[in-house]
Amino acid sequence: MALTPAAGSGCGASSTPPPPTQSERPANSDVEWDNFDSHAYLRHNYSALRADDREILCRTRDFFADAGLSDVRCVDVGSGANLYPALSLLPFARAMDLCEWSASNVGWLRTQIDGYDELWDPYWQVCAEHPAYSALADPRGRLAQVGRVRQTSVFDLPRRTWDAGTMFFVACSISADRAEFQHAVGRFLSALQPGSPFAVAFMLGSRGYHVGQRWFPAVELQRVDVVASIAAGAYDLNVHEVPPTPPLRDGYLSMLLATGRTHG
Ligand SMILES: C[S@@+](CC[C@H](N)C(=O)[O-])C[C@H]1O[C@@H](n2cnc3c(N)ncnc32)[C@H](O)[C@@H]1O
């Protein structure tokens, strides 16, 4: 995820003064997600491929390439204005559901699904450094064929529905309520069939983030919090911390990628 030139991934566009919201610790339902500025978020985070996103994408690519997937149902949760998690699953997808709650982000995703912007070509090129991906000659056409945008909350995901999934910079960045962070991780994992490979990314130490003029809440997480939230629902867990090089924005410590498989 990344918001812009101080950017990289997943959350935010600029530095992080205290939240101008009514609640001290806003819950997901306190936030006006429909006004999320998809274009500001895209510009800040993904207009140029950052080293941290490249590293996360390479690791995710290698993980899915080794996972033995073929012709499966895939999901990316809280896609926002980021296509690279979906690209990391594309060669293996019979169907690719992009589940997002914000109406503005759903609208942006629908503009991308039938022919995504050139901005994403460098991200695909990173994928295509692996033969499992370069075998897919027309990723744009494939996403148009298998992709579907669904306006769905992570908290309402159906259970045991997909065979592989990603959720990048979502559970950490949709609420200031720690219980909601844990709930979001749990719902994501239980939306996958037992044994499904998954990749999830988090901002560590985030105190919230701006997108355009608006401030959005976060849960200030440490690595141990993320591992604890995933461990009960997964096995073969692998966790990798990606230092900010340079930081995407103020107000966070690093990014963390976790891969694994879901328990039954
Ligand atoms: C920090 S952004 C991350 C976006 C993207 N995954 C990325 O990697 O940059 C958090 C995303 O979660 C979405 N979101 C907020 N509440 C949600 C919910 N209840 N269910 C699903 N997505 C939600 C937001 O609209 C936003 O797109």
Whether the Cβ atoms of residue 234 and residue 193 lie closer than 8 Å to each other: no
11 lines ligand 1 (CB under 6 A): yes
> How far is 152 from 98, CA to CA, in rounded Å?
9
Distances (CA, A) of 8 to 21, 41, 129: 25, 11, 21
> So what's the pLDDT on residue 4?
30
> So what's the pLDDT on residue 23?
62
> Which ligand 1 atom lies nearest to the CA of residue 80?
27
Angle at 53 between CA 61 and CA 143, to 5 degrees: 55
- The string of pLDDT tens digits covering residues 135-145 is 999 999 999 99
Mean pLDDT over 135-160 rounds to 98
Cα 10 to ligand 1 centroid, rounded to whole Å: 9
- The string of pLDDT tens digits covering residues 187-210 is 999 999 999 999 999 999 999 999
Q: Going by DSSP bridges, is the β-strand pair 209-211/214-216 parallel, antiparallel, or unpaired?
A: antiparallel
At 51 the three-state DSSP class reads: helix
In this structure, the residue with its CA closest to atom 12 of ligand 1 is 78
- The string of pLDDT tens digits covering residues 236-251 is 999 999 987 776 666 6
Locus of tokens 């806003």 = 26
Q: Is the pLDDT of residue 11 over 50?
A: no
207 token code pair? 């105190």
Higher pLDDT, 162 or 13: 162
- Whether the bond between 91 and the residue before it is cis, its omega within 30 degrees of 0, is no
At 93 the three-state DSSP class reads: strand
In this structure, the residue with its CA closest to atom 27 of ligand 1 is 80
Question: Beta-strand (E) ranges in the chain?
Answer: 72-77, 93-100, 147-151, 164-168, 197-204, 209-211, 214-216, 234-242, 254-262
Cα 67 to ligand 1 centroid, rounded to whole Å: 26
102 lines ligand 1 (CB under 6 A): yes
Mean pLDDT over 199-222 rounds to 95
At 192 the three-state DSSP class reads: strand
169 lines ligand 1 (CB under 6 A): yes
19 lines ligand 1 (CB under 6 A): no
> How far is 78 from 154, CA to CA, in rounded Å?
7
- The string of pLDDT tens digits covering residues 16-37 is 444 444 567 999 999 999 999 9
Locus of tokens 């966070």 = 252
Q: Is the pLDDT of residue 112 over 80?
A: yes
* Four-point Cα dihedral 45, 51, 56, 58, nearest 10: 130
Mean pLDDT over 80-106 rounds to 98
10 lines ligand 1 (CB under 6 A): yes
6: pLDDT confidence band, cut at 50, 70 and 90?
A: very low
173 lines ligand 1 (CB under 6 A): yes
> How far is 208 from 249, CA to CA, in rounded Å?
10
206 lines ligand 1 (CB under 6 A): no
> How far is 164 from 174, CA to CA, in rounded Å?
22
In this structure, the residue with its CA closest to atom 4 of ligand 1 is 80
> So what's the pLDDT on residue 149?
98
Average pLDDT value over all residues in the chain: 91
Mean pLDDT over 47-69 rounds to 97
Whether the Cβ atoms of residue 44 and residue 14 lie closer than 8 Å to each other: yes
> How far is 176 from 16, CA to CA, in rounded Å?
14
Mean pLDDT over 41-54 rounds to 95
Mean pLDDT over 95-122 rounds to 98
Cα 52 to ligand 1 centroid, rounded to whole Å: 19
Higher pLDDT, 22 or 213: 213
> So what's the pLDDT on residue 3?
33
Locus of tokens 């959720």 = 167
253: pLDDT confidence band, cut at 50, 70 and 90?
A: confident
Q: Is the pLDDT of residue 52 over 80?
A: yes
In this structure, the residue with its CA closest to atom 25 of ligand 1 is 102
151 lines ligand 1 (CB under 6 A): no
> How far is 48 from 62, CA to CA, in rounded Å?
22
Q: Which domains does the chain have, with CATH numbers?
A: 28-262 (3.40.50.150)
Q: Is the pLDDT of residue 15 over 90?
A: no
Q: Is the pLDDT of residue 13 over 80?
A: no
Neighbours of 183 (CB within 10 A): 17
